[in-house]
Amino acid sequence: MRKIFLALLGVLLLTTPALADNINILNYENAGSYGVIYRGHYKTAYLGQFNAALDDGSEYIGYCVDLPQNAHFGTADYDMLASDRFSQRQREAAWLMHEYDPDLGNAYDPNYGRHDTMAALQLAIWEVIYDENHSLYDGTFKLSNNGSWYIRNLANAFLSAIPRDVNLASIDYSVIGQHSRYQDVLLGGVGSPTPPSATPEPATALLLASSMGVLAWNRRRKIKNTRA
């Protein structure tokens, strides 16, 4: 009985609940475009910030972290990745957003201009997502010569400020919405929203119910055998 319980407990611990929520992309604030080279192919990347809301009414600022996919506006069902499950690159992207976004940033400087800041921030976020070396001049993601040197220099300044170890507490109100057909989006809370709560996936819920059923059956069998 004890061995069965421990085995089932181990399976449950290894099965991480997924966060699930609808993301409603409300609007997009266009900050211009920039010529980039992604995996050796040139493309015009559109830069800016969008506003989004979740089912619980909490509002978020968002940036794209999935350059190849098309953006989606309106409501769609995303798999939500909580900040405590971020990779190092995702943590760095969230740190950049919370430091420099005009509506969230602790270090936002209005002298640089709102749209220039958002444009540089989006480029810096893509750089940390796709490359480890934080260089906009080589790697999987890099900038072409077809763009503003001012925005490029500002993005480089953001990248150079990233701390070696990003403190998880500084990105508590961040989540990443992941979708198979649309752009994955990095969301940062406006003010102090309540992060979406963990909702077990159907498979996880079924496993939990099955586990409890097995434990109950074994307990009844043990009692019956004892009485016999």
Domain boundaries, the chain: 2-14+202-227, 19-189
The rounded Cα 116 to chain-centroid distance in angstroms is 23
pLDDT of residue 200: 46
List phi, psi (to 5°) of 114: -65, -50
Distances (CA, A) of 107 to 59, 74, 123, 134: 21, 31, 17, 19
pTM (2 d.p.): 0.77
> What does the pLDDT profile of the chain (228 residues) look like in tens digits?
555 444 444 444 444 444 557 899 999 999 999 999 999 999 999 999 999 998 888 889 999 999 988 888 999 999 999 999 999 999 999 999 999 999 998 899 999 999 999 999 999 999 999 999 999 999 999 999 878 999 999 999 999 999 988 988 878 789 999 999 999 999 998 644 444 444 444 444 444 445 455 445 555 555 555 555
- Report the C-alpha gap between 78 and 84 in whole angstroms: 18
pLDDT of residue 86: 95
- Report the C-alpha gap between 31 and 46 in whole angstroms: 8
List phi, psi (to 5°) of 32: 105, -165
pLDDT of residue 19: 53
- Report the C-alpha gap between 121 and 158 in whole angstroms: 7
pLDDT of residue 225: 53
At 43-82, the pLDDT tens digits run 999 999 999 998 888 889 999 999 988 888 999 999 999 9
